[in-house]
Amino acid sequence: AKDVLTLEELSSEEIVSLIQLAVQLKKQRAETGSNPNVLQGKVLAMIFDKSSTRTRVSFETGMLHLGGHGMFLSGKELQLGRGETIEDTAKVLSQYVDAIMIRTFEHEKVAELAKHAAIPVINGLTDGHHPCQALADLQTIYEEKGTFEGVKLTYVGDGNNVLHSLLIGGAKVGLHVAAACPAGYEPNEEIVNTAKEIAKKTGAVIEVMENPQAAVQGADFLYTDVWTSMGQEEEAAKRLQDFAAYQVNEQLVQWAKPDYKFLHCLPAHRGEEVTAEVIDGPQSAVFEQAGNRLHAQKAVLAALLQ
Ligand code: CP
């Protein structure tokens, strides 16, 4: 694939091979302190219309590790934020840099950018998808289990962009993905149906339900994400009430396998979607998972830019 906009455009083999490359790059760095200098002289433009800690720092560091450079561009400081078209922006940036990573709101904006760019475009999060996060999540699962076969990942909470990418990515690699979301907060129906179609070919199991205990039963990995984020301040009180039964706490984790691991894409709101006991407890893998953003994205950059 030229771009990484969603995990749907990548084949199952491409996803597994990216994960294996990420594991290899991680191992090389841990064992020798070195990185392959495969992107020497390459420049990644990183457009952010929204704030970020992990995505920004891991992409910029990833480019540096591979011998290239990551250039931070605030969306509102670009002419794009003052009315220049996406098409013109894509064509102009294609003259200067070797790839674009963009974090923005509407998924269509990223698709439009990729359509007109002569260089690879990577989705660093849109309202619809968070593919780089899901790649790091799948890497974390693969490193723990050594396989995706027979592994159950349960997601509880908001049917958002993170869940969308987990459903598609999980379906591609043959995971059992069970999601429990309150009524009114379900994932996009079209994405769920796409994941179910993919699952028919890969042996994955894709389930979306309302009951959190049923979804968590027998889970190897238990994943959640924030209930309220920037831009949702006005509906925050209602959301906190609607999601109350979906908190990952000592009671809910009893339904998972005894050796379950807790995952969260971060940032986390302790006391809302997860208790401090769980996220800071011995079965939490959230910082390893955050660390894997660096390795998974280095694999994406190396694969797209070499
Ligand atoms: N998980 C994630 O995308 O983190 P940031 O918003 O900090 O990039």
DSSP, residue by residue, 153-181? EEEES--SHHHHHHHHHHHHHT-EEEEE-
Q: How far apart are CA 192 and CA 34, in angstroms?
A: 40
Whole-number Å distance, alpha carbon 287 to ligand 1 midpoint, is: 12
Q: How far apart are CA 2 and CA 305, in angstroms?
A: 9
Q: Is 220 flagged in the annotation as binding?
A: no
Residue 37: per-residue pLDDT: 96
Residue 166: per-residue pLDDT: 98
Whole-number Å distance, alpha carbon 292 to ligand 1 midpoint, is: 12
Q: Are 44 and 98 in contact (CB under 8 A)?
A: yes
Q: Report how far apart, in Å, the C-alpha atoms of 264 and of each of 79, 101, 221 are.
A: 35, 22, 10
- Does residue 181 have an active-site annotation? no
Q: How far apart are CA 16 and CA 148, in angstroms?
A: 10
CB atoms within 10 A of CB 147: 12
Residue 75: per-residue pLDDT: 92
- Does residue 293 have an active-site annotation? yes
Would the ipTM clear 0.95, i.e. be above it?
yes
Match 């209930």 to its residue by tokens: 227
Residues 6+ apart with CB under 8 A from 234: none
Residue 229: per-residue pLDDT: 80
Whole-number Å distance, alpha carbon 90 to ligand 1 midpoint, is: 24
CA-wise closest residue to 246 among 228, 261, 266, 234: 228
Q: Is the peptide bond between 187 and the residue preceding it cis, with omega within 30 degrees of 0?
A: no
Residue 278: per-residue pLDDT: 98
> pLDDT below 70 — which residues of the chain?
none
Q: State if residue 57 touches ligand 1 by the CB under 6 angstroms criterion.
A: no
- Does residue 56 have an active-site annotation? no
- Does residue 265 have an active-site annotation? yes
Task: Tell me the best of 58, 59, 293 to mutate to test the pocket of ligand 1, counting ligand atoms within 8 Å of each CB and taking the most.
Answer: 293
Q: State if residue 132 touches ligand 1 by the CB under 6 angstroms criterion.
A: no
Q: Is the dihedral of CA 115, 116, 117, 122 positive or negative?
A: negative
Residues 6+ apart with CB under 8 A from 20: none
